[in-house]
Amino acid sequence: MDLDALTNWSWREALIAVIALLVLYVVIVFWRIRRLKRQKAAISTTDSLAAQSAVAAYTAVQEPGLSATPEAPVLLSEPSEAAFPWNEPPPEIPGQRLIESLEREIKQLRKEVGGLRAEVLILREQQQREISQAKAFTQSSVSPLYSDAMQLAMQGNDAATISLHCGIARAEAELVVALVRNRDMQE
């Protein structure tokens, strides 16, 4: 065949050549599959005969009163498709219900931990804001003499406790408590 003849092909001739190659490929694939099926059938028949004779020999050894001997194996009938284990439901795993309940409990606990983390984060942010506001308030408007009294009042202590702890008059402690109360109302 000439190289010029290959270069002068029309699209129809190229399409016919591609189709012919595909048909040849399909024929070769079917031929190989058929050959593999025949080999598999030959192997499975020899395997089933060997398995049957092994079963017969085992039963003869285990139960000597039976008539089956290793020399004369009992041929078992072809197993039906229903006898194979893939048609049976899978066996139940021991403790499967316990595992499932524990998984549900773990899922619930994870949700609760996530909620608690969110709450802790919110509380932490509130505490940081309160601390920064208290520092700003004490630094800007409170004399150093009354800074301890202001901090105790912000913590919610009463005037009597503040006056005893800071060594100031009860009236002054009541004034500090009133200032803190007014500041909280304004915010």
Q: Spell out the per-residue pLDDT of the chain, length 187, in tens.
A: 556 666 677 888 889 999 999 999 999 999 999 888 887 777 766 666 666 777 777 776 666 655 444 454 444 455 555 555 566 677 778 888 889 999 999 999 999 999 999 999 999 999 999 888 877 765 665 566 678 888 889 899 999 999 988 888 999 999 999 988 888 787 6
**80 is a domain residue:** yes
**74 is a domain residue:** yes
Question: How confident is the model at residue 136, as a pLDDT?
Answer: 72
* CA contacts within 13 A on the Cβ side of 106: 6
The total domain count for the chain is 2
**7 is a domain residue:** yes
20-44 per-residue burial string, b: 16 or more CB within 10 A, e: under 16:
eeeeeeeeeeeeeeeeeeeeeeeee
**113 is a domain residue:** no
Rounded to two decimals, the pTM is 0.29
Range of the domain at 18: 1-86
For residues 87, 90, 91, 93, the Cα torsion angle rounded to the nearest 10 degrees is 180
In this structure, the answer to whether residues 75 and 3 fall within a common structural domain is yes
Question: How confident is the model at residue 149, as a pLDDT?
Answer: 87
**20 is a domain residue:** yes
